[in-house]
Structure 1
Amino acid sequence: MSISLLLEMAVSSNPDRTALVSGEMRLTTTELSSLADGGAGVVASTGASHVVYVGLGGAMLPLLLFSAAKAGIPVTPLNYRLSGDGLRELIDRLPQPLVVADADYRDVVEGTGKKVISSDEFLAAARTAEPVAEFPDPEDVGVVLFTSGTTSRPKAVELTHNNLTSYITGTVEFDSAEPGDAALICVPPYHIAGVSAALSNLYAGRKMVYLPQFDAAEWVRLVRDEGVTSATVVPTMLDRIVTALESDAVSLPTLRTLAYGGSKVPLPLVRKALALLPEVGFVNAYGLTETSSTIAVLTPDDHRAALSATDDAGLRRLGSVGKPVPGIEVQIRGEDGTVLGPGETGELFVRGDQVSGRYAEIGSVLDADGWFPTKDVAMLDEDGYLFIGGRSDDTIIRGGENIAPAEIEDVLVEHPAVRDCAVVGPEDPQWGQIIVAVVVAADGAEPEPDELREHVRAQLRGSRTPDRVVFRDELPTNATGKVLRRELIAELTAENGAHARSAK
């Protein structure tokens, strides 16, 4: 199945339903489909082999997803926060692209030698262009997304139409939404969550309400004014929403489901959100770009059960990402490749039709049996709940001992004086790496480093105690809330170098 067919199914089921709201724009499913047909005509007329989008998203993301699909070529939303050089480097890696850019970013991508038009120009042309409506081969690449590249050169993940639609049809029931259901979308267009939100909500028959630039107060207003019933946020957004609701306790009577994901969310924040919104069903969604979005879910019932649990295993489950979604198989493997049992920690491997595991310029990294190595450290408990312990690349090797930062972070963040934290391992001539805890203090708190070190020592082995504790006003993160650990290590290394020079 191609993603084009998802739109056609939505039109055939309910042609007059409001498909999306983006600022002043409101489109029915029929209007979105007609615009996509015209957009495909615009794309085809340029002879492009690829569509690139640089902008905030909103209505442009679903429009370009379906326009490119109906023209039979892939689309790539790019991170508009990148520098001009960064954007041009990625654009140059894509074959014969048509670049569509929001007005604020058009100047940044001009001069690339590629065909560039503004989003407004594309929208206007799509209204009058000769329509095109192809249904690509399911094995054709539909979407290419670049990984964040926080530790290396960004990789271009190729997702086929079959990968994307397998995820949608495997996890969403067609036209299952109630007539008044609405989803608030504020995740970035260049993230897999943004792509899957456009596809899954359309397929479910849910109105999509876009908030291209996140603001907690505006998020609350849209939930109330548009009767939003479900929303997805990343950790930094959830933190700001909780802060806004704490300062102005408004009710959100229509909101039934709030999903969070993109990176690990501190448990104190989850518990606070659950307390503030007791009528809302919380969902922790875990997935990767290479897996076409979510591969495991901690459901609202799981959240409630973990909160009320009296045993340690049940209480810990609030920190899990739940169980695999239908169609996904998981394995935990040791360093020698053997499959590990419950309670054993290793690398997470996943398999299923929604899993791509293929990169442009590299090819497939699936093993002979179709398993994808996620590079995430993970563990399955006795009941099949999946726990993610961070990236294997983040492992700190101190004096020959492997130490997972997440193990220390989970303890530190429970200290009442800690709002957020990240543990990193800068190089050290004696130990190879040392453990440095970078802490954001809770509002009004001024914890002592030794107090936090003792807090960790009391709950973990002495070798897990941070060698140093430093404080920051905030942690550097990307748009999905992932901590940019390399930036922290670079800062700490530079500071150490400066101290060494000043001591001479």
Structure 2
Amino acid sequence: MDNLLAEDGEVLAGVESKTWAQLSMFEHVERGLRRNPHGPAVVCLMEQSISIQNLLCSKNQSRAQPASGIKEIHPRSSAIEGNSTSFTLTYTQLHHTALRIATGLLAVGVQPNTTMIMLIPNGAEYAILLWTCILLRITYVNLDPSLLDMSSSAALKQMLQMARPQLVVAPDTCSGKMIDIAISELGLPQPVRICLSDSVLSSTGWKSFVAVAAHANSQRLLEDESLGLAARHHNPNRINSIMFTSGTSGMPKGCPQTVAAMSYALHSQEWLIDPDSGAAKYALMQAHNSRGIAPAQTLQTWRAGGAVVFTGQSFSVPDAIKAIDLVGASFLVLTPPMVHEFAIELAKISLDLSCVRRIQIGGDAVTKEVLIKCAALFPQAQVCVNQGMTEGPGVFTWPFLGTRPETTPFIGGQICPVGVVAPGAKIRLQSIAHEGIVRISELRELHISCPSIIKSYLGGRSADMFYNDTEGGWFNTRDMAMIDENGLVFIMGRRKDMIQRAGVMIAPAIIESCISTLIRSQAIVVPVPHPVLGAQPIAVVESFTNVSVEQVKQHVCTAIGDEYALGGVVCLKQLGLARFPVNATHKIIKSELQEAVLKYWK
């Protein structure tokens, strides 16, 4: 760790390190192709469309292996009732199919270095299109298919206006009508329009996935070397992708990430999904492809020569259990609420978990109780905390893969670190009052300078979150964090979620961890206004089955001090809720919970 020093020689909470050489996107995934050409690159555990079978079985597909296609899988345990099916693509099949699609796209007028919007579900078609984008250096913009609903027409128009795509992919022509209407009303140039369904009328102007591949059959198929040579050309400043934030803090913001930025992230995160540990073998990818984590994890898995396992369109503990049982999922991404749900579900069944080699926990501040519980549930897996942002992953690395979770340093005895600053990245902890960089172990706002971080949001939105100084370009995460003398960084939560009581800042995560240790289940703390103190923390628990309000309040004061004293404790039933509200990435939506608490507290 290279520490920045103040003029008086005191160590400040600014950290930086070194970096690696950059590669093109194709050079990254080509590593997996070369490492494991006949091994699985994509495994889908949900029903696949007939069109994907038609694509793989269409004529002149002789260059690829015969498609693995759909096969029946027998469950290993009673966790899954009945037999299931899987759909598998090997690396060779994926690459050759993407070559056909790329050639077909060129034949219908799509040019390299243009922009494509995808509004499609997870599955084989998504994987093929992502690989195709890499071959043609097309900027991919992945959006939630729900934007094709009539109620989302305004949001869809906004996305189209910002991205101005030359290529659009939708599930079918019916949902694609919303694209047609929006393009017409905006007066945008007509893009090439492709749908996954085979049922396409020529009068609609849309082309099917299979029809695009057929254009390659009617042309002289470009040699692998020709497309591959162009794909290996490294243009670090090209926009590789535009992903949108979840929008929990307002309207989703577009994050244009360059090839250099994603290349850095893939280098920085190679410790996470690697072939040597076995983590990459069957890496479960549950987030929908419109979420920033999805393409990043997909590319990371392919770089390691592993299989990306799809189970559906969102995070789901039952689907994760299915993936463990049916294919031996080796890598999982969990949020703290999912860890608690796993504990409940695994108590009901007998399931061999030895296949799980590594688990990433993230999404919210991770507590000691969650880390230790996860390690106990998966005793043969390495459990790590990994902080990621749509604005740029790979800022931190986890230094405790080879150690027991109980030995991890915890701030306040409760909160896990997110790791140490990755080579090439820098952080600083900035006083909210703009008093400059602060001393180690003080809770302040986290600012990041990293090759993976975007320079601005699409359209210049929230420009105040980005700035430049003599140290380079910086991004204000609006997370509150601290750093210890060993360079470990602790993110305590969003600035907007901090509780200011009588002028003292309280991190809800510390109280949440303390309560969870007592009740062995999820607890969330939100602020409510107080006429004298300004605000006070209120805890929300699932139920009072094994504990009383007074027991919870007393435990907090005894364990972590009177300065964290609760103003009250309520359960979900009292708020009229059946479960904690979560978003598409399974993060708890604290704003909704706070609204329910305020309504109840009046």
Give TM-score, length-normalised by structure 2: 0.72
2:159 alignment partner in structure 1: 90
Matching of residue 8 in structure 1 with residue 34 in structure 2: no
2:342 alignment partner in structure 1: 241
2:390 alignment partner in structure 1: 289
1:437 alignment partner in structure 2: 539
Find the aligned partners of 2:531 and 2:156 in 1 and give their Cα distance. 37
1:58 alignment partner in structure 2: 123
Q: Which of 587, 592, 595 is 1:482 aligned to? A: 587
C-alpha contact (below 8 Å) 1:333/1:347 kept by paired residues? yes
What does the per-residue CA deviation read over 1:102-146, in whole Å, with 9 as the maximum and x for residues that have no partner? 459936945543465433455424533437845372211111111
Equivalences for 1:186-225 in 2 at 5 Å?
Answer: 186-213=286-313, 214-225=315-326
Q: Which of 350, 353, 358 is 1:252 aligned to? A: 353
What does the per-residue CA deviation read over 1:443-494, in whole Å, with 9 as the maximum and x for residues that have no partner? x43x433332333233445453232322213221112232212222333444
Equivalences for 1:173-192 in 2 at 5 Å?
Answer: 176-177=275-276, 181-192=281-292
Matching of residue 372 in structure 1 with residue 469 in structure 2: no
Q: Match of 2:137, as an amino acid?
A: G
1:321 alignment partner in structure 2: 418
Equivalences for 1:100-115 in 2 at 5 Å?
Answer: 100-102=169-171, 106=175, 109-110=178-179, 112-114=181-183
Segment of structure 1 superposing worse, 174-183 or 364-373: 174-183
Post-superposition offset of 1:317: 8.0
Matching of residue 272 in structure 1 with residue 362 in structure 2: no
1:128 alignment partner in structure 2: 214
Q: Which of 391, 406, 423 is 2:509 aligned to? A: 406
What does the per-residue CA deviation read over 1:404-460, in whole Å, with 9 as the maximum and x for residues that have no partner? 2223223222222x6212222244565544433222237x43x43333233323344
Find the aligned partners of 2:588 and 2:395 in 1 and give their Cα distance. 20
1:32 alignment partner in structure 2: 94
Segment of structure 1 superposing worse, 209-218 or 177-186: 177-186
Find the aligned partners of 1:281 and 1:462 in 2 and give their Cα distance. 35
Segment of structure 1 superposing worse, 19-28 or 168-177: 168-177
2:450 alignment partner in structure 1: 352
Q: Which of 523, 545, 549 is 1:421 aligned to? A: 523
Give the 3-state SS of the residue equivalent to 1:289 in structure 2: coil
- The 1:299–1:450 alpha-carbon spacing in structure 2 relative to 1, beyond 3 Å, is same
What does the per-residue CA deviation read over 1:374-433, in whole Å, with 9 as the maximum and x for residues that have no partner? 2111111222222111011222234444332223223222222x6212222244565544
C-alpha contact (below 8 Å) 2:366/2:385 kept by paired residues? no
Higher relative contact order (CA 8 A, sep 6+): 2
Count of aligned pairs: 490
C-alpha contact (below 8 Å) 2:445/2:477 kept by paired residues? yes
Segment of structure 1 superposing worse, 138-147 or 244-253: 244-253
Give the 3-state SS of the residue equivalent to 1:423 in structure 2: strand
Post-superposition offset of 1:160: 0.7
Q: Which of 129, 137, 144 is 2:242 aligned to? A: 144
Find the aligned partners of 2:173 and 2:400 in 1 and give their Cα distance. 39
Equivalences for 1:220-231 in 2 at 5 Å?
Answer: 220-231=321-332
Find the aligned partners of 1:294 and 1:56 in 2 and give their Cα distance. 29
C-alpha contact (below 8 Å) 1:235/1:480 kept by paired residues? no
Matching of residue 118 in structure 1 with residue 195 in structure 2: yes
Post-superposition offset of 1:298: 5.4
C-alpha contact (below 8 Å) 1:196/1:293 kept by paired residues? no
Find the aligned partners of 2:103 and 2:401 in 1 and give their Cα distance. 43
- The 1:17–1:120 alpha-carbon spacing in structure 2 relative to 1, beyond 3 Å, is farther
Post-superposition offset of 1:190: 2.0
Find the aligned partners of 1:168 and 1:228 in 2 and give their Cα distance. 21
- The 1:80–1:419 alpha-carbon spacing in structure 2 relative to 1, beyond 3 Å, is farther
Give the aligned CA root-mean-square deviation in angstroms.
3.3
C-alpha contact (below 8 Å) 2:117/2:165 kept by paired residues? no
- The 1:46–1:307 alpha-carbon spacing in structure 2 relative to 1, beyond 3 Å, is same
Give the 3-state SS of the residue equivalent to 1:326 in structure 2: coil
- The 1:430–1:117 alpha-carbon spacing in structure 2 relative to 1, beyond 3 Å, is farther
Q: Match of 1:193, as an amino acid?
A: I
Matching of residue 307 in structure 1 with residue 406 in structure 2: yes
1:502 alignment partner in structure 2: none
Give the 3-state SS of the residue equivalent to 1:477 in structure 2: coil
Q: Which of 53, 63, 79 is 2:144 aligned to? A: 79
C-alpha contact (below 8 Å) 2:396/2:419 kept by paired residues? no
Segment of structure 1 superposing worse, 107-116 or 355-364: 107-116
The gaps in structure 2 that reach 5 residues or longer are 1-22, 46-69, 71-86, 184-190, 199-207, 573-577
Post-superposition offset of 1:168: 1.1
C-alpha contact (below 8 Å) 2:275/2:281 kept by paired residues? no
- The 1:125–1:237 alpha-carbon spacing in structure 2 relative to 1, beyond 3 Å, is farther
Post-superposition offset of 1:318: 6.9
2:201 alignment partner in structure 1: none
Post-superposition offset of 1:201: 1.0
Give the 3-state SS of the residue equivalent to 1:168 in structure 2: helix
Find the aligned partners of 1:175 and 1:379 in 2 and give their Cα distance. 29
- The 1:409–1:323 alpha-carbon spacing in structure 2 relative to 1, beyond 3 Å, is same
Post-superposition offset of 1:171: 3.3
C-alpha contact (below 8 Å) 1:292/1:356 kept by paired residues? no
Post-superposition offset of 1:337: 5.2
Give the 3-state SS of the residue equivalent to 1:301 in structure 2: coil
- The 1:10–1:462 alpha-carbon spacing in structure 2 relative to 1, beyond 3 Å, is closer
Q: Match of 1:259, as an amino acid?
A: Q
